[in-house]
Structure formats: C-alpha cells, structure tokens
Structure 1
Amino acid sequence: MARVLVVITPAEGHVNPSLGLVTQLTNNGEEVIYVCTEEYRSRIEQTGAQIITYPFPQDAFSHDPVLKPQEYKHSYQFIYMMVSGIIRRIIPNVLQVIEDQKFDYIIFDSLMGWGGTILAEKLRIPAVCSIASFAFVEPLGSHSGLSETETKELYEATMKITTELAEEFQVSIPAIEEIPAHAGQLKLVYTSRYFQPQAEKLDDRFIFTGPSIITRQDAPTFSFELLHERYPQTVYIAMGTILNKNLDFYQLCFEALGDLPVNVVLSSGRYTDMEPLADQIPHNFIVKPYIAQLDMLQHTNVFITHAGMNSTSEALYYNVPMVMIPLTSDQPLVASRVQELGAGITLDKNSLSTTDLREAIVEILSNPFYKQQAYLIGESLRQAGGYKRAADIIMNHFAKV
C-alpha cells in the first residue's frame, strides 16, 4: 500500500473535513503521515494516521492581522493572505519536519494553493487538492473594491514574497492568478455538484463526494430528552469557532427569541465568557460552551449560523433549513447559494435587528418550503458518496499511475 502525506491548514474548517477521508485511507491499508499542529493531535491520532507537528500559533486565525478572516474587496487581498500568512509560514516548516522521508502522493489543503504545488514538486510526487469550501471558479473578492494604487501596491507586495519563496525553493515563479488555483491530479470537493455554484465550469478532475460526516469522539453528551419535554420545535445557534465571541449578538438572540414557544440551544464556544449575560438568559434557552453539532442538528428545526461551509453542509445533510448571518471569507458566497436554492434566509450582520431575526425564524418554522428545499440539497449530499467514495477514487487513481 502507499505512503501518503497529508498537509492541511491548521484550522477547524479545514482539518475536520479531512478526518473521515484519512480514517478511511488508513482503514484501507494506506500509511498516512498527517502534518499539522499540536492542537489537532488527538483528532488526527483517532484516524489511525501518524501525526508530525510544527510550531504555529493556536489562535492565529482569530488574532493574526494577516490570517484573521475578513471580507475581501479584491482577489489580491485573498492571494496575499495565502502567500504571506499560509505558504510562507507553513511550507518551510512542513519540508523541515518531513526531511528525507519518502511518500507516494500528497493530499494538501486548497488554502495552501501554490504551496501545495511546491510540496509536490520538491517531493516529486503527484497531488490531491482537498477543498473544504466550494471550489472557487474565481478567487474570493474577485470584484474590485480597491483603488488602482492600492491594487498595484498589493500586487507588488504579493509578488515580492512569491519571488523570494520561488528562489528559496528553486521552483518557477507563478503568475498571481495561479497562486490560489486548485492544483493536483484530483481535486476533492466536500459537497455535491448540485450545491456547488457554477459547477458546469469545473472539469472531471473535480470530484464531488459530499461532506465528511464523522462523529467526534471527544464530543460532550447532551440530554435531548430535555428538549422534547419543553417545546416541540428547536432553534440551534452556533457561529463557528473563530468569530463566536460577540456578546451583543447573543443578547440580540435573547431579545428576539426569548418569548417564542420554542427551545433555543446556543453553543457559545469554549473560549467565550458568557458570565456578563448570565442573568439575562431566557427560560427557553439552553447555553453550552460546546455541543456535539451532528447530534444537535438531528433535533433541530432551524439553525442560526454564520454560514461556514462545514456547519452549512452538516445542517443540509440533516435537512435543516437555516437563518444565515455571514461574517467573513467565503460565508457570504455559501449563504447566497443556500438562499438561492430556497433552503434558508440570509440576514445582514451590519443591520441585524431583533425584528429581522425573529421574523426569519418564524417564517422558516411556519413555511414547509424551506425544509423541502433543504431536503433536496441534503439528498444530493448524501448521494455523493462521502469519505468512503473519496478514498476509493484516490486509491484507484494512484494504483493506475
């Protein structure tokens, strides 16, 4: 069997989709070496893979000014983040910790872009690109929102770093448009062709396998019987793992939903201090720092979410319609696609009011259309084959190479 190198950006939304695939590859007999950070050791070891770590700040995607998610006004901002924040910081570390090791192929994260190509070239092995969001037909922020001077300065800064890296690794200098491209012989997308925007523009190298639904072994228990004893319908709120510390938003949720005859379960985040709001939590709310989301979604009627790709895919997999409040990065694109297909309502974070949120929740709870549309997307995700099909495709492909 093959010896496989897996290199994924150390972020929840990128590591988690890869875990089912890695588990299946190891179960199928592949020897998987997973290079990531210490923060993800437990999860990765549970897959059966061997983990090799490198230093990287645990809270980088929450606080680092380059890596912190933002709304990109121009594609060059996204590309600069990739080069300066991801490729320059991670690729040298990866090459150092795997020095002198041999592999048969590599699976790398799409957020590394050209960095994955560098690894494949230096190791002289074929590559698979792991795409944790939609496959981007165009980079994020493709519509210009910067002045001509700002665009020129950003281009020059990006290409300066790119040129330095190309010289360091003795590889050719890519055009700026090539840096974020999904490289590799196979491009693995954890969604369905039906849900993917502009899927007709993507060739057969893009393999759509649906989300990687795998139960987290470290997830805490939750008494769902408690919900059924209270109200017949449940609203679940979770705003991701990076930008989930907005107490003003949680207070708005209390005011909007506190007097509705529904259960409201709020996952506030492990590192969010809810003490300032402790006396304001309505009687119909259950607030926990962390909840097993896959279990929770199976008891949810409406999901209030930031529209991160993982959370959105998991909700749709279980036919749950959504009220979406996209915050940054690819979230507006994901929310737009869900609303376009009729499975949810998008609200603007900048003008959000208690009335907006309440009316959106009541609309989805009372109108079966949203549930029906969520089911259609969910069925396409369930039929895509999941991580078992992904592993089979990868292993069959490289068995022929």
Structure 2
Amino acid sequence: MARVLVVITPAEGHVNPSLGLVKQLTDNGEEVVYVCTEEYRSRIEQTGAELRTYPFPEDAFSHDPALKPAEYKHPYQFVYMMVGGIIRKIVPEVLRVTADETFDYLIFDSLMGWGGTIIAEKLGIPAVCSIASFAFVEPLGTEQDMDENRKDVKELYEATMKLTRQLADEFQVRVPAMDEIARHEGRLKLVYTSRHFQPQAEKLDDSFIFAGPSIVPRQDAPAFPFEQLRARHQQTVYIAMGTILNKDLDFYRLCFDALQDLPVTFVLSSGKHTNMEPLIERIPANFIVQPYVPQLEMLQHADAFITHAGMNSTSEALYYNVPLVMIPLTSDQPLVSKRVQELGAGITLDKNNLTPVALRAALAEVLGNPAYRQQAQVIGESLRQAGGYKRAADVITNYFAAINR
C-alpha cells in the first residue's frame, strides 16, 4: 500500500475534520505520516498515523498577530496571512522533519495554499487538498469590493509578493502570481461538505470531492450529565463560540441577560482557556456552564445552537438537524452563516449590533418556527448522504492506486 504524508494546519477546525479520513486510510492499509504539533498528539496517534512534530506555540491562532482570525476586507489580507503566518513558519519545518524520506502522495490543508504545492514539488509527489471550510470559488474577502487603487491595498500587495519571492528563492521554486497563492491546488480537492450546502457548487469541477463532514466520536470528550437536560425544561439550547474566539466575557454576560428567564435549558461551552470566575455569581439557574462540552453528543440533544458559525460547528449541527442562531466573527464565518440563512436553516445576527433583545428574538423565532428545523434536516440529509470519511478515503486510495498501475 501507499506511504502518505499528511500536513494539516495546527488548528482545531482543520485537524478535527482530517482525523476520520486518516484513520480510514490507516484501516485501509495505508502508512500515514502526519506532520502537526505536539498539542494534537493524542488524537492523531489514535488514528494509527505516525506523528512528526515541530515547534509552534499552543493556542497561536488566539495570540499570534499574524495568525489571529480577522474579518478580511480584501483578499490580499487573507493571502498575506497565509504567506507570513503559515507558509513561512510551517513549510520549512515540514521539509526538515521529512528530509530524505519518500512518500507516494501528500494530503495538505487548504489553509497552507501555495505551501502545499511547495511541499509536493520538493518531495516529487502528487497532492490532495483538504478543505475544511467551503471551497473558495472566489478569494475570501472578495465580497467587500475594496478599491484596488487604495494605498494600503497596494502596499499589502507589495509586502505579500516581496515575502513570496523570498520564499520562492529559499525553496528554489517558481514565484506564483498573487491569485495562485490561495488557490485550491492538487489532483483532488476534498471538501468536508455536500454539493447542496456548498455555495456556487456548479462552478467547481469533478476534482472537487464533496464527502460531507467527518463525524468521528472524540475519544477525549468529557462526561456530561445529559440526564439533567430534559429534567429541567423541554427544550435545550447549546451555546459555543469555537476554540479560538471563546473568551469574550461580555458576550456571555449578554447571553445571561437575554436568556435567563426563558423555560429552556442552556448549555454553554466556555472554553478550557477562559476564566469564568468574574461571572460565577451571574450564571442563571437555567444555564449549565462547562469549560468543555462533548459537542457531537450535545448536538444530538439540542433544539437550537447559538454559534459563531465556524464551518466545523455548523456542519456538525446541521448533520444532526439542529437549526442555528449565528453570530459570525471572522474569517469564513460570515460566508458560512450567509449560506445557512440562504437555505433557511438559521438566522444571522450582526456582532456589532448585538443586543439581548435581538438575541432573544432570534432564538424565539428559531425555536418557535418549525421551518428552520425542517430546512436544517434538508441540509443534514445532504451531509449524511455525501459519504463521509469512508467515501473520502476510498476515492483517494482508488485514485492513486489507478494512476500507479
């Protein structure tokens, strides 16, 4: 069987979707070497892959200015983050820890963009792009329509291309054009969603494989008193704002103010790095607050989900037919929430004008109008029928087996 190199950006929303695929590849007999950081050792090794690590600050996407998620106003901002925050920092490390080794093919994270192409070229192997969000038909930030002639846009272009030329010289590869850096490259592009949910799917060719979300029970998930949910109230609402942007105590305070007197049980996942001590006395009786909640299990009990609309969380909710109240914050989240609302499975709120009244009204609409759950079920069915990580692994192994015959 083949020897596979997997290189994924060290972030929850990118590592987690890859785990089911990697386990299935190893179960199919592939030998997988997975390059990531020490933070993810336990869950990666549970797949049967061999882990190679490199130094990278834990929780870097919360603290590193170059990596911290932002609301991109122009595509160049996203590309600069890729080049300066990811390619420059990760590609040399990947080549170092895999030096003098041979592989049959590469699976790389789409957030690495051109960096994945560099690794494939230096190792002389074909590649598969792992896309943990929607496939970008247009570059992230395009919808903002910022003037190309603005001084700051021109400066950002020059800074990005200067760094790109330096890296191309370092790795002895061709200098890409700006629009090539973030492009989805590879023989195959694996997208963890369905064609139904993907915006503008008709513009994507057959090299894009829509396999649906990778729903794999997490071995490190903590216990949770699910029996307490219906004992309190008939409806349960789950609240979680992801693993990078979940430290906003003002938002949690707003939730308490808006929802404290509703006959609903609220489960709030505050994040393991969030200090909730200042709010301990403010937690209402209808709230269960824990630093980490087993999300896949919780969503199977939830009547609605209040979320930042990260792709992983959104896909998992829809997979279990849960409608959403979405407060997109950064990156691709506005795109994800827009698509959910277009398909009728949730309501989007503006983070800049969020009030207790607005949050309460949106939640009441989603809980009270069955159309939202019905549309969530339509999307959920498309995600379940896409085949998941088993189909993804079969498509990849069959493709490379065929071209190597």
Query: Which TM-score band applies after superposition, normalised by the shorter structure?
Result: over 0.9
- Match 1:396 to one of 381, 390, 398: 398
User: Residue 59 of structure 1: CA displacement?
Assistant: 2.0
For the residue of structure 2 that corresponds to 1:145, the secondary structure is coil
In the alignment, is the contact (CA less than 8 A) between 2:192 and 2:213 conserved in 1? Answer: yes
Q: Which amino acid aligns with 2:322?
A: V
In the alignment, is the contact (CA less than 8 A) between 2:258 and 2:359 conserved in 1? Answer: yes
Q: How does 1:238-387 map to 2 (within 5 A)?
A: 238-387=240-389
For the residue of structure 1 that corresponds to 2:352, the secondary structure is coil
For the residue of structure 2 that corresponds to 1:273, the secondary structure is coil
Q: In the aligned structure 1, how far is the partner of 2:101 from the partner of 2:313?
A: 36
Residue 34 of structure 2 is matched in structure 1 by 34
Residue 55 of structure 1 pairs with residue 59 of structure 2? no
User: Residue 19 of structure 1: CA displacement?
Assistant: 0.2
Residue 126 of structure 2 is matched in structure 1 by 126
For the residue of structure 1 that corresponds to 2:247, the secondary structure is coil
For the residue of structure 1 that corresponds to 2:353, the secondary structure is coil
Residue 83 of structure 1 is matched in structure 2 by 83
- Match 1:234 to one of 215, 236, 241: 236
Residue 190 of structure 1 pairs with residue 216 of structure 2? no
Residue 144 of structure 1 pairs with residue 130 of structure 2? no
The RMSD of aligned alpha carbons is 0.7
Residue 154 of structure 1 is matched in structure 2 by 156
Structure 1 unaligned residues grouped into runs of 5+: none
| TM-score, normalising length: structure 2 | 0.98
Q: Which amino acid aligns with 2:292?
A: Y
User: Residue 66 of structure 1: CA displacement?
Assistant: 1.2
In the alignment, is the contact (CA less than 8 A) between 1:323 and 1:345 conserved in 2? Answer: yes
User: Number of matched residues?
Assistant: 401
**1:197-231: per-residue Cα shift (whole Å, max 9, x none)?**
00000000000000000000010011111111110
User: Residue 151 of structure 1: CA displacement?
Assistant: 1.3
Q: In the aligned structure 1, how far is the partner of 2:350 from the partner of 2:188?
A: 36
Q: In the aligned structure 1, how far is the partner of 2:93 from the partner of 2:9?
A: 12
Q: Which amino acid aligns with 1:337?
A: R
For the residue of structure 2 that corresponds to 1:119, the secondary structure is helix
Q: Which amino acid aligns with 1:398?
A: F
Q: In the aligned structure 2, how far is the partner of 1:154 from the partner of 1:230?
A: 54
Q: In the aligned structure 2, how far is the partner of 1:39 from the partner of 1:332?
A: 28
Residue 22 of structure 1 is matched in structure 2 by 22
In the alignment, is the contact (CA less than 8 A) between 1:3 and 1:31 conserved in 2? Answer: yes
For the residue of structure 2 that corresponds to 1:350, the secondary structure is helix
| TM-score, normalising length: structure 1 | 0.99
User: Residue 73 of structure 1: CA displacement?
Assistant: 0.7
User: Residue 144 of structure 1: CA displacement?
Assistant: 3.5
Residue 173 of structure 1 is matched in structure 2 by 175
User: Residue 378 of structure 1: CA displacement?
Assistant: 0.2
Q: Which amino acid aligns with 1:391?
A: A
In the alignment, is the contact (CA less than 8 A) between 2:230 and 2:236 conserved in 1? Answer: no
In the alignment, is the contact (CA less than 8 A) between 1:75 and 1:144 conserved in 2? Answer: no
Q: Which amino acid aligns with 1:23?
A: K
User: Residue 400 of structure 1: CA displacement?
Assistant: 1.0
Q: In the aligned structure 2, how far is the partner of 1:265 from the partner of 1:220?
A: 14
In the alignment, is the contact (CA less than 8 A) between 2:74 and 2:140 conserved in 1? Answer: yes
Q: In the aligned structure 2, how far is the partner of 1:251 from the partner of 1:23?
A: 40
Structure 2 unaligned residues grouped into runs of 5+: none
**Which of 162-171 and 318-327 deviates more?**
162-171
User: Percent of pairs identical after alignment?
Assistant: 75
**Which of 24-33 and 143-152 deviates more?**
143-152
Q: In the aligned structure 1, how far is the partner of 2:230 from the partner of 2:353?
A: 34
